[in-house]
Amino acid sequence: MNNAAVSDRSGLLDLDIDRWDAVLDVNLKGTMMMTRAAAALMPDGGTVINISSRSGERPLKNAFAYATSKGAIIALTRTCAVDLGPKGIRVNALVVGGPWTPMAERAHAHLDASAIAALRERRRTEAPIKREGSAWDVAKAALFFASDDSSWITGQALAVDGGYLLVDPSEAVRDAATHQDED
């Protein structure tokens, strides 16, 4: 399972090239190198699970390098699935979005408690299933990809995001605000 990642809060025009290299080195090159190393140790087949992000499907403003790397992980996953499939190695990705994890907590550590609470509430209301995800939600999807239950699945990018990618976030928030009395 390739889960290492770093982020950056820069847009294209203010992105430091050294930071670009660092984000792509960890997120994309690291995923490729670990997949290659793991595949060499799987003579009888196996499975590789890559962690992407909803930012790879729906880029966020001021996350240029991160979103690019996570989108590239989806392409890398599919390319590896084709290349490693004849060796009996399945390669899939989890497109994670919205769970409150230690990385999310660190990324928002500069905010005060009320701003964090508001952010978490907004993230919850943006998801069609109206609950915040956790690392356990991601772990359960990873266990599925690691199990024989997914033995005929390779090259896929499974969104583990409460349905976030299915809706326009601005519409989801407006709809939640409009219908808040119906809960």
Let me know if residue 2 belongs to a domain. Answer: no
Q: Can you tell me whether residue 38 is helix, strand or coil?
A: helix
Let me know if residue 4 belongs to a domain. Answer: no
CB 12 within 8 A of CB 23: no
pLDDT at 176: 36
Let me know if residue 159 belongs to a domain. Answer: yes
pTM score of the predicted model: 0.89
pLDDT at 173: 44
Let me know if residue 139 belongs to a domain. Answer: yes
Write the single-letter amino acid at 64: F
Q: Environment class of residue 31 by beta-carbon count within 10 Å: exposed (0-12), middle (13-18) or buried (19+)?
A: buried
Looking at the predicted structure, is the pLDDT value of residue 177 above 60?
no
Q: How many domains does the chain have?
A: 1
Residue 35: give its domain's CATH number.
3.40.50.720
Per-residue pLDDT, averaged over 24-38, amounts to 98
- Which active-site residues does the annotation give? 66
Let me know if residue 3 belongs to a domain. Answer: no
Per-residue pLDDT, averaged over 149-164, amounts to 97
pLDDT at 182: 34
Could you give the count of Cα atoms lying within 13 Å of 25 in the half-sphere of its Cβ?
6
Let me know if residue 6 belongs to a domain. Answer: no
Q: How far is CA 153 from CA 48, 77, 81, 91, 131, in A?
A: 12, 12, 10, 8, 28
Let me know if residue 1 belongs to a domain. Answer: no
pLDDT band at 146 (very low <50, low <70, confident <90, very high): very high
pLDDT band at 160 (very low <50, low <70, confident <90, very high): very high
Residues in contact with 39: Cβ distance below 8 Å, sequence separation at least 6, in sequence order: 46, 48, 80, 84, 87, 89
CB 50 within 8 A of CB 35: yes
Domain assignment of residue 115, given as a range: 12-182
pLDDT band at 162 (very low <50, low <70, confident <90, very high): very high
Let me know if residue 65 belongs to a domain. Answer: yes
Among 14-28, 76-90, 144-158, 162-176, the range scoring the smallest mean pLDDT is 162-176
Write the single-letter amino acid at 5: A
